[in-house]
Chain A
Amino acid sequence: MNLSDLQVLGLAGLSSKLRAQLVDLGIAVHENPDGPQWDLVLGPASAIRQTRQITKWREELGTVVWAEVDSTEDSVHVLNTGDVDRFISEGLTELQSDLLQVQAAAWGRRHQRRLKQDLQRQNTELSAMAERLEELVAERTGDMQRSKSELEAQTQRVQRLVRFVSDLSRWHHVDELMIYLRAEFRMFHELGEITLYWRKPTGEAELVFWQGHQLIHRETGPPPHLPLSIRMNDRVDQVYLATYLKRPAGRTITVPLSVDSPPAILFLEHGLKETERFLQHLQERLQALQLTWERIYGEQEAFESSRQWEEVFDTMVDPVAVLNREFRVVRANRSFSQFPGVQCHQQWADRDSHCLGCPLESPPGSAQLIQSRGRLWSVYSNRAEQDGASGTIVNHYVDVTESKRLFEQSIQSEKMASLGLLAGHIAHELNNPLTGIRSLAQVLMMENLPTTTSSDLKEVASAAERCERIIQNFLQFSQGESEPETVDLSELVQRTLPLLKTAFREHRTEFHWSNEPLMVRVQPHLLQQVVFNLVSNACQAMPDRGLLSLETRREDDVAVLAVRDTGIGMAKDVLSRIFEPFFTTKKEGEGTGLGLSLSQRIMRRFGGDIKVSSQIGEGSVFEVQLPIHAEKS
């Protein structure tokens, strides 16, 4: 096909330059639109747009409609832009005539058909796709609406759950939990009573249940078989509840509360028509509930063990105190007394400074003897091991008054026993020659002798007799096994005095004996010991020469012996304690501190007592009082 065969329509306005080029190529450009089948329509864009037939051409020619582009006009209304572009850019002159011809022809027909098919297919596909899309959109929109309300519901559920869990964290006691659960489950109207079975840390099993608005705790029997998970309407559970609550039980939901701790079971009685919703509600909360139970139980256990410990601590008869370095009481048991923060010696011994022999000032672990509260204490002081740095000290006070007294007493009686033995020997050794002296003096007195010699011998005999009497008294005093006797108090005191002569030798003495006999029932040697004690004390209280006076008198039915000295006297605080065992103002080794307390015990055993009054610097008076023994007097 020759290029000149191309049927070209040149629309009005086609540039003369292009027209000339076409002509040069041998192509005739026609100007009548109603001509033969055009292969190519050429014209300025504006013209093509205005031409009515352009649609028809376009349908028929496909790509071949071409617009000459002028600078002001924008585009070309053809489908196959690529070719036209080339057409334009390269210019007709540079197109090979045959290429142009082939191309134009091929385009025209091939592309027209394919395009039509493509378009149709694409259209169907597109509309199908659009349909699907619409469906999809509708579906999505529905979904979204639905899930929004679901989401809200779920959020609410979660919020309620969160509140439940956070509420649970506030409860520390079984009762609190029970009260809370009752309120919490109130939204399920048909839910009945809530009952809790649990085994307390102390080991007793307990049923906690509601009676009206009151929570009742009641000891209970062995638990029903433990649930591993929530179980419903268990016959055994119902019988168990009925047995211990003493009323018929309804339908039950049995919830295992404990996981690791001793058994705890929650019984929920109910009349729910439909349990599904409640069970779900419960199931959601079960783990939180169980965890809370474990915590509450743990707290209860801790509380219980600390309470038990405290009970033990307080039950101890021996006082125990935990002190810090400043002697302040951190904790103490009941026997010690309960004023934390106060210093131990203020609480313990009622004094402002440390006790004599304070164990805190000695190496730890040693025991010290301390006097307080009228008793003698062995105080064991130990540093708390785990608390070495802060210096916490545990003091343990053991009352050793009695054992110490017994010990001293046994020493005392041992002394007396050996003294008695010794006295026996001495008495024997002295009695023999004394017997001889006195007897011989008596024999000689019968001889015919000068008066002076005779009276000398009388003196010898009476001196020997005095010696014999002293020995007799000494024997009685030291042998310490005399039976209760009824004796004259004055006479007994006078019998004792010879033994005390060395004690009061340095002092002036005054004796006022009662005119009537003061018969008292005593073990004479013990009363002698008391007199001995009181007189030697009186003499020791007078470092300078003083006046010792002894007096016996009757006051109603009481025989009184008063031992008075003009010594140093005693202060009030000493006075109030002198009858305490082991209280002594004497230097170590000079007294056991037992004399007066023993004396008082002896007198009380005889139904009497010892009283004392004293003035600092003026002296003291001790009064022995004994009931007058009526029968023999």
Chain B
Amino acid sequence: MPAPSLRITSVLYQNDMAAALRGLRSLAHSASLAREAGVISEAALHIGDSSPSPLMDAAAVEALQEELAPLIGRVEYLHFNANLGSAGGQNRLSEGMAEDLWLVMNPDVVAHPRLASALVGALGEGVGITEARQLPLEHPKVYDARTGDTSWASGCCMLTRRELREKLGGFDSETFFLYCDDVDYSWRVRDAGWRVVYCPDARVFHDKRVDDGGGVAASSTEHYYSAEAGLLLRWKWSRDDLLEQQIRRFSISPSEAHRRALEEFRHRRDAGRLPARFDPEHRTAQFVGGEYAVHRV
């Protein structure tokens, strides 16, 4: 069987370009090593930009293409002229893709040289997604120590198949703007009978910082979209019981993010813009505490 081809996609939004370029170079290098090892046949890097103004001009794109040419077959840059969010941006960059595999990446990452090889290597038969281990803060969701099976894969760095992307339509960008698009996609992949597998040997550095209390530092925007996505995910995956709980909680919460998220949810519901529902028998989705998998504590 010939080695598969790979498309890597990454969506920028007002990033520090020095850091973003470091990440893109590392991805190209990782793809190059995978090609040299015969794990993949070829690779392309597609960069999307949701920023109000393009972060790269034509000369910068050309310079990057020239720099990465020895490592990767093709480098494309597309300014969206709109903020499509992570789900919309990733979908746009993977529309009609010809490559066999799709590597979804955050822009604030640095890939280990063997990242691509490890993720592709773990994408065995019946596996729909492989997920990398993040550094410096490993995601706390549990996985099966023997098989690697896990509830969902983080869109920070996940590898999936073109056939699944086509069949499922990629991320649900109509519903999810910034968060839970990866949880939802993972669950739809599992709902379709495929496995989601965690791959600790596939390393990716994700630039997360720790706040004073030892938690992961997050902005107010992140709080808002996370709260909004939480409500929508409970709706979509047919957990009315948990949705009601969350609505009650948000309705008395002092948090501005919670109040706005609840308003938006109600607005969508009233306008009939909530998504179709999945998993009525609760076989796939996992809601554990406020999380979407059992977490290590």
Query: Do A and B make up one complex?
Result: no
